[in-house]
Structure 1
Amino acid sequence: MSITPFQVTLWIELLAAALGGLQGALFAAGRRHRRIDVLGVIVIGLAVSLGGSLLRDIMLNQPPVVVWNNSYLLVAGASAILGMLLHPAFARAAWLITTLDAVVMGLFAAIGASKALSLGVGEAGALVVGVIGAIGGGMLRDVILNLPISFLQVGTLYAVAAGAGAGTFVLLAELGTPTLIAGLACLGVTTAVRLAAVHFGWTFPEQRALQSRRPN
């Protein structure tokens, strides 16, 4: 199925890049015990902002848009600097970083799934691309900071939220829903699942807990 690519509207992907850079910088600036310098904060902001798009385009065998279009690097860098400057004002607003993270995931999930479908990728593949686009920036952030990869650890349904949003987009696109509406639905579902999981502490059971339940 071929649909109008969600990312043709440049400002939408630049908005995702800006929010990603802001969220990444706020996250990094809050890790004071790691003594991250100014350059480090900016690098983390860039990783969160551009990582998902980079991995998405590599998976789709497309020229990485974040490399070929100067706008992405400029917007991501500026928003990362802004996030670093704003951190003192939001130092205790952990909910803001979590909310930004959820919104960024939803935007990149919609962009990734849309681009995959527009290139003729099947529904299952588009779902995978959407999830990778959504969590790719967070993965690179965790690798750079030497943290446990978020979606591989017992946590608050990080990848599940991205999958729910990307799946919603793919389903609505297959039903002929306008791309913008499908994208907004993806954003809403991803954000809602992620924030609800954080608020209510929803997690998958740890594999060791399952093993301990096996009869001897």
Structure 2
Amino acid sequence: MNIDFTTIIDYIGTFAFAISGIRLASAKRFDWFGAYVVGAATAIGGGTTRDLMLGLTPFWMHQPSYLIVTGLALLFVIMFGKQVIRLNNTFFIFDAIGLGLFTVVGIEKSLLAGFPMWVAIIMGMTTGAVGGVIRDIFINEVPLIFRKDIYAIACILGGLIYFACDFFAVGHITTQIITAGSVILARIVAVKYHISLPVLKGNENQ
């Protein structure tokens, strides 16, 4: 069975995002099934939304391996739970990796479906960010995408970099690596140096 590089990064992104969701679920003291549901929603939520918007059957309905990968992520957290939870930045690391990899997957699946680049950039953001929105809603937190954090903006930046690489005929795998890396780097730099978007302030007298 031949597995292309896009599929590989899709599986890695699924594993990384599932761990980020399961780790937060464990912090909320969810049971194993609840943690699996949160992990699965984090891992496949963005891609499912993307496929529905593109008029496609959600990808995991064709290939159950994504649900299996989520199960492996749950086992990973169960087996190494103390080490995972002890590391305060574990969630952030896995979330950043998943965000970058899924942005690439969303862009490429949109282009493969025949949509223009501007749609692909939006779908890259959707694939990367919406799973995190669903995760945060499930655990009763304000989604990162609606806070000051550079999150969805990082996906858009990655999409623009993908477009630039494509314009200058950069190699396909190199483009994937540069795009994913730029999203991950943008998240790390934004958090490290406290870079955020301005907050929209309402009228406190109302």
TM-score, normalising length: structure 2: 0.90
CA separation of 1:7 and 1:169: change in aligned 2, threshold 3 A: farther
RMSD: 2.0
CA separation of 1:83 and 1:166: change in aligned 2, threshold 3 A: farther
Displacement of 1:83 in angstroms is: 2.1
- 2: CA distance, partners of 1:189 / 1:169: 10
- Bigger mean CA offset, 84-93 vs 49-58: 84-93
Corresponding residue number in structure 1 for 2:7: 10
2:180 aligned with 1:184: no
2:15 aligned with 1:30: no
* Percent identity of paired positions between Structure 1 and Structure 2: 24
Query: Are the equivalent residues in 1 in contact too, given 2:77–2:84 (CA < 8 A)?
Result: no
Query: Are the equivalent residues in 2 in contact too, given 1:7–1:13 (CA < 8 A)?
Result: no
Displacement of 1:7 in angstroms is: 6.8
2:62 aligned with 1:65: no
Uncovered stretches (5+) of structure 1, i.e. residues with no partner: 1-5
Number of matched pairs: 202
- 2: CA distance, partners of 1:188 / 1:10: 17
Displacement of 1:8 in angstroms is: 6.8
Corresponding residue number in structure 1 for 2:190: 197
Uncovered stretches (5+) of structure 2, i.e. residues with no partner: none
- 1: CA distance, partners of 2:150 / 2:26: 24
- 2: CA distance, partners of 1:158 / 1:137: 12
CA separation of 1:54 and 1:7: change in aligned 2, threshold 3 A: farther
* CA deviation string 1:145-175 (max 9, x = no partner): 2211211122x21111111112211221233
Corresponding residue number in structure 1 for 2:94: 100
- List aligned pairs for 1:1-216, cutoff 5 A: 9-31=6-28, 35-154=29-148, 156-208=149-201
Query: Are the equivalent residues in 2 in contact too, given 1:51–1:140 (CA < 8 A)?
Result: yes
CA separation of 1:143 and 1:7: change in aligned 2, threshold 3 A: farther
Query: Are the equivalent residues in 2 in contact too, given 1:29–1:84 (CA < 8 A)?
Result: no
- Bigger mean CA offset, 199-208 vs 75-84: 75-84
CA separation of 1:82 and 1:206: change in aligned 2, threshold 3 A: same
- Bigger mean CA offset, 16-25 vs 78-87: 78-87
Query: Are the equivalent residues in 1 in contact too, given 2:50–2:123 (CA < 8 A)?
Result: yes
